[in-house]
Every structure is written in structure tokens, then in C-alpha cells.
Amino acid sequence: MIKRTLLYSFFACAVSVPISAQTTSSRGVISAIGDATVAVRPDMARVSVGVVTQSANANDAASRNADAAAAVIAAVRSVLGPSSDVRTVNYSLAPNYQYAPSGGQPTLTGFSATNIVQATINDLGLIGRVIDAGIQAGANRVDSLQLGLKDEDTARAQALRAAAQKARTKADAIASGLGVRTGAVVSALEGVQVIPLTAPSAAATAVTTPVEPGSVDVRASVTLQLEVQ
């Protein structure tokens, strides 16, 4: 009985091997990676400005902050228009403590309220005016200025084409060095990264704020696998 069981198991394993696995032969492949960077002039910006207020009690800090933030938002919209994209991106109300040098229990000294709003700017010539208007209206924080693209698809496609061409050129060079030729594409993997420009924060005492847009980098990477002929 034991011998028959072993013989049956071996036969079952033998017939379960696919016929295609016995007859298909795989061709060699050459892999290559191409990288490309396209520099594009930005056509939009996002500016974050805000107000920090402090008071002995939480209600007063929040109330003063609300009035100041409303004035900043109104000033920004006066430059960009009443229907402009201005939104709150951060709000906080937190206690302030004083810590003794020797340690011990900290002392509550008051509260800080923070309201940061972000404005989307489609006319880059207005960036400086928006920052200045916010500061003049009471903003005491300018957290960030990012410049980017409204539509990234065209720049992405351009960078991918350049990266794919570089990958193909590398693969052909490898094949030539090996004395073979490249054939059909087996696989192609892509990766794209858009790197927005980030300008340093403006000082709250600035009278005018000049901004130079520069360029946005769109980086692409393409990994190709080609058959060897």
C-alpha cells in the first residue's frame, strides 16, 4: 500500500507541469534608465500669510485674531478680486507657558491664536502686492511662497519623452558594446516629479517685496527593458 501511494503522488506531480513551461524559451533583455529635467517658467503662485495674536485669556486672543485675520483676507482680496481663491490652511489657539531655569511647574502666561491663509495667484506680477497688502493690513507672518504650474501635463509629457529617448540611447549603446541589437520593448516604467519653487519668507517690515519667478523643474525617469536580437 505504501509503494502504490508514493507512485501515485509522483505521477500526479509529473502531469501537473504545464506544457508551455517545457517548450517556451525566454529571450535575453537589456535594461536601461533615462533621466531628464525640463525647466518651465511658472504661471501660478501660492502665498501663505497670517496673523499671530497674544493675550492673557483665550477669548481675547481669539477675538483679536479674528479681527486681524479678517482685515488681512480683505486686503488680499482687494488685490486679487472678491472671487479669488483665499482659504485658511492653519488655525490654532494654544497656551503660553514660562519655564523656570531650575525646573518645576511651568507658569501659564497667556494664549496665542494663529490664523494662516493661503492665496492662489494666477498673475505673477501681483505676488509682491499681495504680500505687501497682507502685511500692511496686519499680517505678522509670511509662511511660504510657492511657484508652480497650472497645467503640469505638457511639461510632464516633454520630460518623459526626453527620458525615454535617453533610456533607448543607453540601451542601444549597451547592445552595441555586447555585439547584439535591441528589439521590441518588453516593459517601460516611468516616474515624474514636479519641484515647485519655494521662496524665502518675507520680513514683516518689508515695504516692497520684489519676486523673481525663475523656473519650475519637472523631472522624469524612464526604465526600459528591450529584447535582445
| pLDDT score of 14 | 33
Write out the residue limits of the CATH 3.30.70.2970 domain(s) in the chain: 44-148
**Gap between the Cα atoms of 90 and 93, Å rounded:** 11
Q: At 101, is the pLDDT very low, low, confident or very high (cuts 50, 70, 90)?
A: confident
| pLDDT score of 199 | 59
| pLDDT score of 46 | 94
| pLDDT score of 213 | 76
| pLDDT score of 26 | 59
**Gap between the Cα atoms of 187 and 31, Å rounded:** 9
- Whether this prediction's pTM lies above 0.95 is answered by no
The string of pLDDT tens digits covering residues 27-78 is 799 999 999 999 999 999 999 999 999 999 999 999 999 999 999 999 999 9
**Gap between the Cα atoms of 187 and 140, Å rounded:** 53
25-43+150-229 topology per CATH: Translation Initiation Factor IF3 (3.30.110)
The string of pLDDT tens digits covering residues 129-166 is 999 999 999 999 999 899 999 999 999 999 999 999 99
Mean pLDDT taken over the chain: 84
**Gap between the Cα atoms of 218 and 223, Å rounded:** 17
Give the Cα-Cα-Cα angle 68, 73, 78 (nearest 5 degrees).
Answer: 125
Residue 54 cell numbers, joined: 497674544
> 44-148 architecture in CATH?
2-Layer Sandwich (3.30)
End-to-end CA distance of the chain: 54
CA distances from 137 to 84, 104, 165 (A): 18, 41, 52
